[in-house]
Chains A and B, each alone.
Chain A
Amino acid sequence: MKEIDDLTIPDLRFAQDHEWAKLEDGGVRVGISDYAQDQLGDVVYVELPQVGETFEQGAVFGAVESVKAVSELYMPVGGRILAVNEKLEKAPELVNADPYGDGWMIVVEPADLRQLDALMNSAQYLAVLKG
């Protein structure tokens, strides 16, 4: 288990359920945090939505499975799915190896960008992890 100080927490937005969100040209990219992947252990399967589906903020958009457990993935911002990371189908371990990079999960066309601003910044997220 990583110590809190060993966790990577880049300058992104974070939801309570440990998803990260990053505003890019054309959408908000979403994945799970280094803390979340460390807690889950080896990710063996990622269930992702179809491009074009629409979800509210906080709705379940998929699931991530470790050897032991299945955990739900929640939309950090509501909107339409613009892209999903198809690499995860064959290489779910990317979520462990590179949670903020190649382990990304979806790109969302946000319905309301204010939802993004209301998420935690990295300092606030770190404070939550430190409890």
Chain B
Amino acid sequence: MQNEPKKTLLHGWHTVHCANMADFGRYNMPLWYPAGAKQEHLAVLTAAGMFDTSHMAAVLVSGPQSFELLQRCFTRDLNACAGRDKSALTPGNCTYGAFLDENGFVIDDAIVYQLADQSYMVIVNAGMGGPIARHLEARAGERVPRILDLSDRLGKFDLQGPRAAAILMRVLANPEKVLDSMRYFTFKGCMDKMACFSDAVRLTDGTPVLLSRTGYTGEFGFEIFLRPEHFIQTWERVLEAGLDFGLLPCGLAARDSLRTGAVLPLSHQDIGRWPFINHPWEFALPFVSQGAGFSKAFIGDQALLNIRSPEYTHAFVGHDLRKVSAHDPAAVIDAGGKKIGEVLTCVTDMGIGRFEDRIYSIASPDRPEHFQPKGLSCGFVKTVVRLSPGQTVTLKDNRRKIEVVIAGNIRPDRTARRPIHQMMAFGR
């Protein structure tokens, strides 16, 4: 049946463990487990959480012209996107960006991993392996690189939270060597037993994995790729290794509230069929300097530079945890009572709260004594006027109005970029 939702390899595990399941991106996925979305969210801020992300798709692009094709189709300049000094992408590095159509609209966002010279792995969202593979094939020149859609052919889970390294150290062979100096947006190892560009990363039972210091929660952690035949047993092993560290399996609800608090957009909701520009993630476009043209030509570039009626995407944070329903739909109203846009995402980040004039996270080192956040609503809006951080707007759905503040940042003291040596010692 074409309309039947797909199942990941862990589907049986999720149902046995009483997950509340729902369809997402044509996959039947866990929303939360019995601990509940709130505890799962908090676990990722204070300990660690594990997410089944094998509904996401991988597309391998290899052979001559691979670099040229991705450079033409991806929004990041592969010659200037790695690390803080914006150096060229090299094997072992990965970078976040998007694939646009000729109108500058987002087909999907993605992380491009360089595996070797002229060899890349492109990770896209659930159900997008086929569309992105076809998009690349259609835009390749005469010499089409090898483009392989690996949808449903690999295992992937994310281990996120400050204790992620300490947990991994229990299951990795040679953990110090593997984790040593591993920077944000770098990766090591490969899924196959074949030799890869770097030393293989193996678990103590010999399972080879590709270990990437990335994730979509804003917190320190890893995305772990492995062959399907090793997937379920490895998921269970890592979960068991982290139990006494407070590791929880986490569903999509916690993932959604975590990523929103970290100001990370959800593809097809916060970025989508409108121009991929004027949003909080300017780094995802190859600007030479702010707004002054691009460092390379890419599909969609002219459309982005020639926008006649611009729209702006902004993050916001509320004064308490009350939300509006983005599906209602909910409108953005300015101080004069005029509708200036719509709400794209509105969730509650349960790990944060206001105290005096500041937002603290449950993990903020300088949080007030006995700080117990009730949560704050937060999300993204799309408006027809440019707003600035600190500006107040009203969000209105069919039920209520809430005042929110446009924000450059939402959840403070996130751990994603912390030096790994700090995180290897976290909580020990």
Contacts and interface: CB of A to CB of B under 8 A. Distances in A.
A23 B254 CA distance: 38
A42 B375 CA distance: 12
A67 interface: yes
Nearest to A39: B20
Interface in B25-50: 31-32, 36-39, 41
B160 interface: no
Given A1-B19, A67-B38, A72-B399, A41 B31 contact: yes
Contacts, number: 64
B295 to A, nearest CB: 39
Contacts of B41: 67
Interface residues of A, number: 19
A80 to B, nearest CB: 22
Given A65-B323, A65-B348, A70-B323, A44 B38 contact: yes
Contacts of A44: 38, 321, 348, 350, 374-375
A67 B399 contact: no
Given A1-B21, A44-B348, A66 B321 contact: no
**Considering residues A69, A70, A72, A96, which has the most beta carbons from chain B within 10 angstroms of its beta carbon?**
A70
A44 B41 CA distance: 13
B399 A38 contact: no
A103 B134 CA distance: 52
Contacts of B322: 45, 47, 65
B18 A41 contact: no
A123 B147 CA distance: 56
Contacts of A130: none
A41 B253 contact: yes
Given A41-B32, A45-B321, A96-B36, A67 B20 contact: no
A38 B257 contact: no
Contacts of A66: 37, 253
Interface residues on B, range: 20 to 34
Contacts of B19: 1
B323 to A, nearest CB: 5
Interface string B1-34: 0000000000000000011110000000001100
B20 A1 contact: yes
A114 interface: no
B324 interface: yes
Given A41-B37, A45-B322, A67 B348 contact: yes
A63 interface: yes
Interface string A47-60: 10000000000001
B18 A1 contact: yes
Interface string B326-352: 000000000000000000000110100
A44 B19 CA distance: 19
B325 A67 contact: no
Q: Which 9 A-B pairs have the closest CB atoms?
A: A1-B20, A42-B38, A42-B36, A67-B37, A70-B325, A68-B253, A67-B348, A41-B37, A42-B37
